[in-house]
Amino acid sequence: DLAALDHADLPFDAVVEAVNPARSLSRHPLFQTMVAYEGGGPDTSRLLGTDAGEYEVRGGAAKFDLEILFRRTERAGVPGMSCGVRYATDLFGRDGAERLTERLLRLLAALVADPTAPVTSVDLMDEAERRQLDGWNDTARVLDGPADLAALVASGADHATDSQSPALVFEGEDLSRTDFDARVNRLARLLVGRGVGPESVVGVALPRSFDLLIAIHAVVRAGGAYLPLDLTLPADRLTHMTDTAAPVCVLTDLEGLGSLPPACEAEPVVLDAPEVRAELEELSDAEVTDADRLAPLLPHHPAYVIFTSGSTGRPKGVMVEHRAIVNRLEWMQHAYLLNGTDRVLQKTPTGFDVSVWELFWPLAQGVPLVIARP
């Protein structure tokens, strides 16, 4: 705003006094970076009858975190510009300040060469930096394992120490890999019978427990996408989530049944209800494959739906495909290499996407998953 130039000569101390910002000894009260331009003043080559000229004097401590001063110059009748940088040594080293200066000069040279170019079009890195960045990001690798999450987790049985080694540990109790897969397969078949398949959503409203892990894995193994529902959230938010995602059903327990929002139209499947337990006992515990599903499970099908926090408005559901999470888990295994001596803690609420690798990565590698107390 050019009107601000009407106050160009206002003393800085007066600005600080008028604004009265919160003070801290660690930084300047109004701003931390200053860019100044000196356009030159009246001719002072003759001062009081004597020859006069400018002489650069090094200042003391930097008044700001970073100061950049541009000055118009003239040498042998040729106009130019000089630039100086002063910095707080507690924050910047000489190498860092020099790199910043090099990038600034690169930016100015590019804009002088093409004054109409958008600032965002200028590449601030030199060739060596670009090659280094490209090298850091050359992480592509061929994934030759299962392409869907259900198959990836099922393959974890081959990595387990033996079929009776624990898959889950919760409050001092173990659930073996054999029993885990059996319970997951039975529940997956029950879900298929209720119309769950690829591109359908199933709500999961359970506390951290064996049942929570079995429910989530059963949804994925049936081909569906799981939708975490935290029953401590306000009812109107849960209603918004279920209305938006339209789950085929909601997996819960007798305690959680009463906390489901009244407006939720999805069928509740109460895992600890006697009739549901009896139904599960009648189902096969054999591995669930595409032959059992309503349709083949493909890498582009959604594996889960997690809603955002809603900090920018209403919460929004984000669907993540099987191939995306498989890629993530394969990378994590390549980078961190879980093995039979490891155990992993499941501690993150399932409504946060950080929980996803906790829920699936250990079981895909045959490593016990320790479930934290709710």
Name which of 38, 36, 91 is nearest 61 in CA terms: 91
CB-count burial class (<10 Å; 0-12, 13-18, 19+) for 120: exposed
Per residue in 79-126, pLDDT (tens digit) is 888 888 889 888 889 998 999 889 998 998 999 999 999 999 999 988
**8 A C-beta contact, residue 223 and residue 301:** yes
The per-residue pLDDT for 19 is 83
Question: What is the phi/psi pair of residue 122, to 5°?
Answer: -85, 130
Q: Round to whole Å and give the CA distance between 255 and 272.
A: 9
The per-residue pLDDT for 73 is 82
Per residue in 246-264, pLDDT (tens digit) is 999 999 999 999 999 888 8
The per-residue pLDDT for 41 is 56
List, in order, residues 6 or more apart from 165 with CB less than 8 Å away: 176, 177, 366, 368
Mean of per-residue pLDDT scores for the chain: 90
pLDDT range class, residue 230, cuts 50, 70, 90: very high
CB count in 10 Å sphere of residue 154:
21
Residue 42 has pLDDT above 70, yes or no: no
Residue 53 has pLDDT above 70, yes or no: no
The structural domains of the chain, ordered by start, are 2-42+59-128 (3.30.559.30), 149-371 (3.40.50.12780)
Rounded average pLDDT over 226-233: 96
Q: Please give the model's pTM, rounded to 2 decimal places.
A: 0.72
Helices 355-364 and 322-336, packing angle to 10 deg? 70
